[in-house]
Amino acid sequence: MAKRKTHYWLLKSEPNAYSIDDLVKDRTTHWDGVRNYQARNMLRDEILVGDKVLFYHSNADPMAIVGTATVVQNGYPDHTAFDKTDKHYDEKSDPDNPRWFMVDIEIAQKFAEPITRDMLRENEITAGMMVLAKGSRLSVQPVTEDEWKAVHKLAKAKLK
């Protein structure tokens, strides 16, 4: 069976809602509540088991990449859209024709120190990351292999 090349992604979360520490505690989670079509398409079609994820804290102090995770379940319907009591309930998502999707991820590592936006901006490679672009609101973003590696170098450098 031909093996697909690993793809890399960045997932944003407000730590108030779900933080890296929550993921460390839970080990795995389903990435529910995404209600944006571009992000939905990636969750449904492009993000596959074995892909690697940068975990980013938005609207936080500090705003930073705080760890990594691995995708352990391909896209499947986001059941929180069917739950009237859920914050992300969407009456237009039909269980027979779901509108929203999610993947499952598992903690890989929590960085010893957060990789802040300033740190990302100062590095030649990570300075080009989508998450730094003005007005970048997409909560699921593709990351290049070079960016992935550069973030890890920053994480190691930070340990010194």
Partner DNA sequence: GCCAACGTTGGC
Contact status, residue 78 vs residue 32, Cβ threshold 8 Å:
yes
Interface residues for DNA in 3-22 (CB under 7 A)?
A: 12, 14
Going residue by residue from 82 to 121, which x/- string records binding to DNA, judged by CB under 7 A?
A: -----------------------------------x----
Name the token pair of 18. Answer: 């779900």
By CB under 7 A, residue 122 contacts DNA:
no
As measured in angstroms, the least distance from the Cβ of 38 to DNA is 6
Q: Exposed, middle or buried by CB within 10 Å (0-12, 13-18, 19+), for 129?
A: buried
Q: Is 127 in the site for DNA (CB under 7 A)?
A: no
CA–CA separation, 88 and 39 (whole Å): 15
Reduce the DSSP state of residue 4 to 3 states and report it: coil
Q: Where does this chain bind DNA (CB under 7 A)? A: 12, 14, 35-38, 58-60, 63, 117, 131, 134-139
